[in-house]
């Protein structure tokens, strides 16, 4: 950009950003503030970059990956998504919204809008109806499990199905309890998530009380039932944020197995690794 700057002070600033000495300042200016190409050009108005150069230098938008949150049996010819509208404030108090999530949220469902979509094989294989399931999906991590539960409900109408335990988490019961009625309906009246069928639905509301409660805390509360399902050959599916949640859930499983089976922690770790090797411990996490 400095090549095309006609103002000397802008040229010098851009050259400084491109130097090893200016690397930290460039990070603060650009990455931390999540500046767009247009905003950078507005900050350096003397830059007269030819359009063909601009097109070559600007990176293409990355494709966004979403978990399908519906069952093809329950919703033929449809694909449901569970999308969190990304919203953040930069260090300089600029409001930022996710490009794709904001656009999707503003679409009018009454109008036909064509969206380019690619289907890829996910990391959570669909389980057979005879396989007991332990699902952990806080926040939008519940997305794939909505489809799992829909599919298991249809299967249970025709045949006997294995139990399903689902641990969901959100901040507030009143604000972000995603698919509340759906989960509750399947956890009652002998639904696939009901305790009467050997399963269960448990919610951790992290901000509804003074002490924060997360899915791993709810798991420990029901350690005996978790161990019972694991002993019966249950598969574990974890989905959600890739920050601390997957490791916290894994640690909770290690404690539960050690406590309920009476083995040392090291043996519990090996037990879980073996579960992963045989394809019964799956994690789908994202930033």
Per-domain residue ranges for the chain? Answer: 2-57, 133-286
Percent of the residues in the chain that have a pLDDT greater than 70, as a whole number: 100
Domains 2-57 and 133-286 share a fold: no
What pLDDT does residue 104 have?
93
pLDDT category at 286 given cuts 50, 70, 90 is confident
pLDDT in tens, 107-140: 998 898 988 899 988 889 999 999 999 999 999 9
**Alpha-carbon radius of gyration of the chain:** 24
- Enter the tokens of residue 146: 């909505």
Average pLDDT of every residue of the chain: 94
Kindly list the distances between the CA atom of residue 226 and the CA atoms of 119, 147, 219, 241, in Å, as whole numbers in the listed order.
33, 22, 8, 22
What is the rounded average pLDDT of the residues 15-25?
Answer: 95
List CB contacts of 106: < 8 A, sequence separation 6 or more.
none
Q: Can you tell me the mean pLDDT for 253-274?
A: 97
Q: What fold, for 133-286?
A: Rossmann fold (3.40.50)
CA distance 23 to 6: 23
**Superfamily covering domain 2-57:** NADPH-cytochrome p450 Reductase; Chain A, domain 3 (1.20.990.10)
């Amino acid at each position: 950009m400095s090549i095309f700057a006609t103002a000397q002070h802008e040229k010098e600033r851009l050259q400084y950003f491109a130097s090893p000495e200016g690397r930290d300042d460039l990070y603060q200016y650009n990455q931390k503030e999540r500046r767009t190409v247009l905003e950078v050009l507005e900050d350096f108005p003397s830059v007269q970059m030819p359009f063909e150069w601009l097109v070559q230098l600007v990176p293409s938008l990355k494709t966004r990956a979403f978990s399908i949150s519906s069952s093809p049996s329950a919703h033929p010819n449809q694909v449901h998504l569970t999308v969190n509208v990304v919203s953040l404030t930069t260090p300089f108090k600029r409001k930022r919204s996710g490009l794709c999530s904001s656009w999707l949220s503003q679409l009018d469902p009454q109008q036909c809008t064509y969206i380019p979509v690619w289907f890829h094989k996910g990391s959570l294989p669909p389980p057979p109806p005879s396989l007991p399931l332990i699902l952990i999906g806080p926040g939008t991590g519940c997305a794939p499990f909505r489809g799992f539960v829909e599919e298991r409900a249809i299967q249970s109408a025709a045949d006997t199905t294995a139990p399903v335990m689902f641990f969901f988490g959100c901040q507030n019961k009143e604000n972000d309890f995603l698919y509340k009625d759906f989960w509750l309906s399947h956890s009652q009246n002998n639904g696939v998530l009901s305790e009467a069928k050997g399963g269960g639905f448990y919610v951790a509301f992290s901000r509804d009380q003074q002490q924060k409660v997360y899915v791993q805390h709810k798991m420990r509360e029901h350690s005996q039932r978790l161990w019972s399902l694991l002993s019966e050959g249950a598969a574990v599916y974890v989905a959600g944020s890739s920050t601390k949640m997957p490791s916290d859930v894994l640690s909770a499983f290690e404690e539960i197995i050690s406590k309920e089976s009476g083995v040392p922690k090291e043996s519990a770790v090996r037990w879980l690794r073996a579960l992963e090797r045989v394809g019964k411990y799956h994690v789908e996490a994202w930033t």
